[in-house]
């Protein structure tokens, strides 16, 4: 009963949401009630810590699918707490869809500074001006919504920038440099 692959998958989802996505309302008691209502306390505790441990190994090494297969084979050969074929299949399925999501969630949790939450912008055209040279000069107005990662309750700070063409293309050029650097890093 404890080996039911559907429940195993549900438990994987529950524990990963609690441990890596901050859903603290998914307590052990809650998970037991929802997924294994008729299991003994002891059985449930065992499978719970087993699942948390498996997840931790996958997450910590950020395993790719080849590493996962090696890992699963080893787990299925273990004498104690052997992983069944069905459980291995559930884990494979789970990891395929959640690997990136979990990794991204953890990465965003390691950023403790400000983050850019939203950008609003519009382009204005100055069509009338005392100075003739201003006619038909476009201006970009950007609003950067900057949020504090540590205190999510705080209202994001809004910074308004007004940029003319030269400044905007300078900014774009700067960002192009950053983009090139990132691409270099990802390749290597």
Partner 1 sequence: MNNEMTDVNIKWKVSMAVSSNDVKNLNQPMITMMIVTTDKAGNKNNLPIEMTTSKFKEFFRTVGQINTQMENAKIL
144 in contact with partner 1 (CB under 8 A): yes
Give me 112's structure tokens: 């403790």
- 39 Cβ partners below 8 Å, 6+ apart? 1, 2, 32, 47
Binding mask 21-60 for partner 1 (x = CB under 8 A): --------------------------------------xx
Site pattern 63..102 for partner 1 (x: CB under 8 A): ----------------------------------------
Closest CA to 91 of 3, 29, 23, 1: 3
| Sequence-distant (≥ 6) Cβ neighbours of residue 31 within 8 angstroms | 11, 14, 15, 48
Q: By CB under 8 A, is residue 159 in contact with partner 1?
A: yes
Evaluate the CA torsion angle 59, 65, 70, 72 in order and state its sign. positive
Task: Report the C-alpha gap between 95 and 62 in whole angstroms.
Answer: 10
Is the CB of 79 or the CB of 130 nearer to partner 1? 130
Work out how close the CB of 54 gets to partner 1 at its nearest, in angstroms, rounded to a whole number: 15
Of the candidate residues 65, 81, 104, 134, the single one contacting partner 1 (CB under 8 A): 104
Taking alpha carbons only, the member of 51, 139, 38, 136 closest to residue 95 is 51
Note the residues at the interface with partner 1 (CB under 8 A): 20, 59-62, 103-104, 106-116, 119, 121, 123, 125, 136, 138, 140, 142, 144, 146, 149, 158-163, 165, 167-169, 171-172, 174-179, 181-182, 185-186
């Amino acid at each position: 009963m404890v080996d039911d692959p559907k429940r195993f998958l549900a438990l994987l989802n529950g524990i990963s949401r609690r441990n890596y996505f901050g859903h603290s309302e998914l307590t052990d008691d809650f998970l037991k009630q929802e997924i294994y209502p008729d299991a003994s306390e002891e059985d449930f505790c065992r499978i719970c810590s087993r699942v948390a441990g498996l997840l931790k190994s996958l997450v910590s090494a950020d395993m790719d699918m080849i590493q996962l297969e090696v890992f699963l084979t080893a787990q299925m050969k273990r004498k104690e707490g052997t992983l069944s074929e069905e459980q291995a299949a559930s884990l494979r399925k789970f990891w395929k869809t959640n690997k990136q999501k979990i990794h991204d969630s953890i990465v965003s949790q390691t950023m403790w500074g400000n983050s850019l939450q939203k950008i609003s912008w519009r382009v204005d055209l100055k069509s009338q001006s005392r100075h003739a040279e201003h006619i038909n000069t476009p201006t970009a107005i950007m609003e950067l919504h900057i949020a504090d990662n540590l205190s999510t309750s705080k209202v994001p700070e809004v910074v308004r920038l007004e940029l003319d063409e030269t400044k905007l293309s300078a900014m774009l050029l700067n960002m192009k440099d950053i983009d090139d650097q990132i691409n270099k890093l990802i390749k290597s």
